[in-house]
Structure formats: structure tokens, C-alpha cells
Amino acid sequence: MILHGYFRSSAAWRVRIALGLKGLTAIQAHHHLRRGEQRAPGFLALNPQGLLPALQTDEGAVLTQSLAIIEWLEEVHPTPSLLPGDALHRARLRAAALAIACDIHPLQNLKVMARLRAMGQAEPEVQAWSREVIAEGLAAVETLVAASAGPFCFGATPTLVDVCLVPQLGNARRFGVALAGLPRLSEAEAACLALPAFIAAAPDHQPDAE
């Protein structure tokens, strides 16, 4: 498999974690987001959206969208499961994961921030927008997982929610978001960061880290 990503891309980070948890490896192909390499014709031939990550399977198929990639990994390599439990429990896992991947991350990513600047928003306002989006979203996720036993977001093993959470908390720190009021998310993150799969997937441990 070939994983097309960027060391600090939250979405690519999720896929690296999922691969590690499942004991899988992929060749890494790097595309520098800030230099616009994801919009090069060669990469657009793989993913017309010009977004990272993309995963080329052993059979040569190309998969895009991090959660779709992870769900494919879950179906093809079901152990250990990132979506355990019955249908209701899996729906709750997906809801919490989507709250991060669809309602927090896209609103504070590079493309949105660039468009805010292009519309005349000053840099302090752009940064404030990002902090507010992250803080409000994480507060909601804290409530979604609060009633679940730890140490991970939904129990004794990491799930799709934890895979999405750790990169988003990394983004939160980059933007200076206060995390002191998120005890359950902090507990889950601490449990995750003790695992080799999460350690190896961290941006600082990637070959293209800057």
C-alpha cells in the first residue's frame, strides 16, 4: 500500500494511526500542503479533490477521504476492531468521530483559513475563528463521551473516535486552545499516547517532518 499524506495533515495522521493499530504498513508518499503539492496534476489524477490523504491499495485501487479509508481497513482487516460492539454502539462511535472529522477539522483547515484571508479577514481574526471552532467542537465531543467508561473514549480499547481525537487535540494545541476543561478527552489522549501505534503516527516522527 502507498499512503499519500503530509506529516501535519490531521486526516493523514488518522490513517497512519489506524494502520499502526492494525499492524499494517504502507509506503509513504509526501505532498507538501503549504507548497500546494496536493494540487499537482500527478496527484489530482489520484484524487480530483486535491486533498490528503489518498491510499493506493495493493491491488492498485485508490481510496480517498480518511474515514472511508479507515472503514475499508476495518472491513478488510477487522482485527483489532476500531468499530466494536452492536449496531447502536457503532452508530455512537461514528457520530463522535464524525463530529471531529466533519464538524471541527474542515472548518479550521488550511483551505478555509486561506479563504478567510482572501476575503479580507485579518490574521488575528482567522486565528480566533479557528480557536473558536475547535473549542466549541471539542466541548461537544467531551459531552458525547463523558458517560462512557475509559480510559479511551468508548472503553478499554481505542476506537475510531480516538483515532480522530488525537490529531484534533494536536491541532488544538497548535492554535492555543485551552484543553483543561476536557477531562475525558484528556484521559483518552493520555491512554492513546502510551500506545506504539499512536507514537509512531505522530507528525514529529514522520520522514517529511519539519
The per-residue pLDDT for range 128-176, each reduced to its tens digit, is 999 999 999 999 999 999 999 999 999 999 999 999 999 999 999 999 9
What is the arithmetic mean of pLDDT over 36-56?
A: 95
- Give the contacts of 116 (CB within 8 A, at least 6 positions apart): 125, 126, 129
At 209, is the pLDDT very low, low, confident or very high (cuts 50, 70, 90)? very high
Distances (CA, A) of 20 to 44, 105, 175, 199: 27, 22, 27, 9
User: 2-80: which CATH architecture?
Assistant: 3-Layer(aba) Sandwich (3.40)
pLDDT 10s digits, 173-204: 999 999 999 999 999 999 999 999 999 999 99
pLDDT 10s digits, 72-110: 999 999 999 999 999 999 999 999 999 999 999 988 888
Q: For the chain, give every domain's residue range.
A: 2-80, 87-197
Q: Within a 10 A sphere around the Cβ of 40, how many other Cβ atoms?
A: 12
Residue 116 has pLDDT above 90, yes or no: yes
Phi, psi of 3, rounded to the nearest 5 degrees? -105, 115
What is the arithmetic mean of pLDDT over 31-50?
A: 94
What pLDDT score does 108 carry? 83
CATH 1.20.1050.10 fits 87-197, yes or no: yes
Q: What percent of the chain has pLDDT over 70?
A: 100
What is the arithmetic mean of pLDDT over 118-127?
A: 94
What is the arithmetic mean of pLDDT over 59-74?
A: 97
Query: Is there a common fold for 2-80 and 87-197?
Result: no
What pLDDT score does 110 carry? 86
What is the arithmetic mean of pLDDT over 14-22?
A: 98
**Rg for the chain, CA atoms, rounded:** 17
